[in-house]
């Protein structure tokens, strides 16, 4: 199962930059127009796949051992979260995406694959701050407004992990200055 997920993630890796960019734009819009539960599941699935893929990439492409270790943590945590999302979505009769979409592949994953060393580290840290900031906002909204109690509970449970990732990325940014 993990191999299948990693293969799917690697195929989808090119979409990571778009994810971070996409997460910025609707922040205020999403506060006015809540996502449906299916839209949230789509968002969460893309987030998990993108972050796991980028985490795998960081372990190879990063210069800093701290960034490599952070990438490994994200790969592990988001792979685990994807499994939890699948369980929650199944209970809610919703569908989880199984591949990173074209938008994320073109905007984020593809460009990240072209970077190595310190250039990778810098871009990766900034993308992780942006992506997790947006994800936290979306998950908080879902925790408050989800139509389905299982999804509401899932979002509440995922929030501390997303916050840990955001805090970790901010710590990496401080170390890199």
Task: Determine the pLDDT at residue 1.
Answer: 42
Is residue 30 in a domain? Answer: no
> Which pTM value belongs to this model?
0.82
> Cα–chain-centroid distance for residue 44?
7
Is residue 172 in a domain? Answer: yes
Band (pLDDT 50/70/90 cuts) for residue 176 is: confident
Is residue 23 in a domain? Answer: no
- The tens digit of pLDDT for each residue in 121-130 reads 999 999 999 9
CB 22 within 8 A of CB 102: no
Is residue 27 in a domain? Answer: no
Whole-angstrom Cα distance, residue 136 to residue 158? 9
Is residue 24 in a domain? Answer: no
Domain ranges, residue 91:
2-14+36-176
CATH number of domain containing 120: 1.20.1260.10
Q: Domain tally for the chain?
A: 1
- The tens digit of pLDDT for each residue in 103-159 reads 999 999 999 999 999 999 999 999 999 999 999 999 999 999 999 999 999 999 999
Tell which phi-psi region holds residue 117, choosing left (phi > 0), alpha (psi between -120 and 50) or beta. Answer: left
């Amino acid at each position: 199962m993990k191999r299948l997920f990693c293969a799917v993630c690697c195929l989808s890796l090119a979409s990571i930059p778009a994810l971070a960019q996409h997460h910025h734009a609707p922040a205020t819009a999403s506060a006015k127009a809540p996502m449906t539960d299916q839209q949230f599941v789509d968002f969460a699935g893309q987030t998990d796949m993108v972050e796991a893929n980028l985490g795998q990439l960081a372990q190879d492409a990063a210069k800093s051992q701290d960034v490599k270790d952070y990438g490994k943590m994200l790969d592990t945590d988001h792979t685990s979260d994807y499994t939890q999302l699948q369980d929650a979505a199944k209970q809610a009769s919703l569908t989880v995406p199984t591949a990173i979409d074209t938008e994320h592949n073109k905007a984020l994953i593809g460009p990240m694959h072209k970077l190595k060393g310190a250039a990778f580290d810098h871009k990766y840290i900034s993308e992780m701050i942006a992506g997790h900031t947006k994800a936290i906002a979306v998950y908080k909204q879902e925790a408050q407004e989800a139509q389905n109690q299982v999804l509401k509970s899932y979002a509440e449970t995922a929030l501390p992990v997303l916050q840990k990732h955001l805090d970790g990325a901010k710590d990496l940014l401080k170390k890199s200055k």
